[in-house]
Amino acid sequence: MKKIGIVGAGTMGSGIAQVAAQHGHEVYLFDTKEAALEKAKASLAKIMARLVEKGKISEEQSKATQSRIKRGSDYVQFNNCGLVIEAIVENLEVKKSVFNSLENVVSNDCVLASNTSSLSIASIAGSCSHPERVVGIHFFNPAPLMPLVEIVPAVQTSDSVLKNAQTIIDSWKKVTVIAKDTPGFIVNRVARPFYGEAIRIYEEGIADMATIDWAMKEIGGFRMGPFELMDYIGNDINYTVTETVWKAFYYDPRYKPSFTQKRMMEAGYLGRKTGRGYYNYSEGATNPEPDKNEVVGEAIVWRILIMLINEAADALHLNIASAKDIDLAMTKGVNYPKGLLAWADEKGIQNVLDGLDKLYVAYHEERYRASVLLRQKAAYSKRFFE
């Protein structure tokens, strides 16, 4: 079993290191900051202690996992790694320089991966002397708990590197999907309307946040409402992802960010982490109660759902991933109650298309244009899954 290298001992790097160590790999966890390495060590010890306490793992397993991870700031230690995953700050220039440093020490057959959420894998690979060995391996937060991993080949990535990467991550009992190297990959692209359309409904005064959250949970079956989820993710992070995807798609109005969320970010109402977001999380605070009107609730869910289905259909149309992988990504990466394409089949593709066309006619906004794939499927009475 080959040694795994991780660059960056922050939220993602330390989580990925844990997963690799739990699956028997020797791990070298690298960070330029000693404090980050110390923090990663302490937090792993805490997580392991909790797992032992809950009876999920034995004391021996806990010790073995912890002892498999070595930490430091010395690139030479990557020399005998089979795979190195980079999870440092989201900055292309800094990532490029890390990949160059890695290429100076790793063996010829070592796979170099980036956990980037928003940068193109091609641009990272392009800075390497062996770009064919570079691939995206995109985990979700928290890495030890979220089953999905998007594997993203760049145009330069060789088939064997892609296959190797997927085989290793599959062996860590993750659900892997292959995504094209395009902004947001699968999940961060297809999920945009969950937030954006919810905010739009709120901005238009159709319903307040509590009502929208209630509808999406109680009627839609989602685990969290959009506003609760944005508060959980952090309005700064969620806004930045939306803005990045929008810019990366050459300002396609479908992904346009909202002033509502921008103002939340500017006000420092970031969500749970600052005690205040769309909701107030301070002790004794009262938050609005939902208006549990079923008719309004159904309309809210339908509008957000058809926008999500439209994104999923368009991602399929543009070969971002297979229908199966798009549905797996949304159920395993963001816990959607059903895959969006299977959901479209269930609701009737013609109905989904009619809903989108109605919005398009009403608003005359590009945001509501239906994917041509939905139109084709509806015209020939086809389904996504036969």
Site residues for ligand NAI per CB under 6 A:
7-13, 30-33, 36, 87-90, 94, 98, 115-117, 139-141
Per the CB < 8 A criterion, the answer to whether 331 and 338 are in contact is yes
Residue (of 385, 350, 343, 384) closest to 370 by Cα position: 350
Q: State the residue number with the nearest CB to ligand NAI.
A: 10
Measure the CA–CA gap between 261 and 239, rounded to whole angstroms: 6
User: CB of residue 30 vs ligand NAI: minimum separation in angstroms?
Assistant: 6
Q: Which CB atom, from 96 or from 180, has the smaller least distance to ligand NAI?
A: 96
Helix/strand/coil for 326? helix
- Identified catalytic residue from 188, 238, 310, 371: 188
Q: How many residues does the chain have?
A: 386
Q: Which CB atom, from 172 or from 202, has the smaller least distance to ligand NAI?
A: 172
User: CB of residue 304 vs ligand NAI: minimum separation in angstroms?
Assistant: 22
Helix/strand/coil for 137? strand
User: What is the pairing mode between strands 69-72 and 3-7?
Assistant: unpaired
Residue (of 126, 187, 196) closest to 321 by Cα position: 187
User: CB of residue 274 vs ligand NAI: minimum separation in angstroms?
Assistant: 17
HEC profile for 242-301?
A: HHHHHHHCCCCHHHCCCHHHHHHHHHCCCEHHHCECCCECCCCCCCCCCCCCHHHHHHHH
Active site residue 138: yes
Active site residue 366: no
User: CB of residue 118 vs ligand NAI: minimum separation in angstroms?
Assistant: 6
User: CB of residue 382 vs ligand NAI: minimum separation in angstroms?
Assistant: 35
Active site residue 115: no
Q: Which CB atom, from 124 or from 201, has the smaller least distance to ligand NAI?
A: 124
Residue 70 has phi, psi (to 5 degrees) of -105, 145
- Identified catalytic residue from 14, 62, 114, 150: 150
User: CB of residue 236 vs ligand NAI: minimum separation in angstroms?
Assistant: 12
Measure the CA–CA gap between 171 and 152, rounded to whole angstroms: 17
Measure the CA–CA gap between 223 and 207, rounded to whole angstroms: 19
**Would you call 280 exposed, middle or buried from its count of C-beta atoms within 10 A (0-12, 13-18, 19+)?**
middle
- Identified catalytic residue from 14, 114, 117, 235: 117
Residue 271 has phi, psi (to 5 degrees) of 125, -150
Q: Which CB atom, from 172 or from 384, has the smaller least distance to ligand NAI?
A: 172
Rg (CA), the chain: 22
Active site residue 117: yes
- Identified catalytic residue from 138, 164, 228, 310: 138
Q: Which CB atom, from 117 or from 176, has the smaller least distance to ligand NAI?
A: 117
Adjacent-strand bridge partners of 148: 175
Q: Which CB atom, from 13 or from 277, has the smaller least distance to ligand NAI?
A: 13
Per the CB < 8 A criterion, the answer to whether 314 and 373 are in contact is yes
Which residues are catalytically annotated?
A: 117, 138, 150, 188
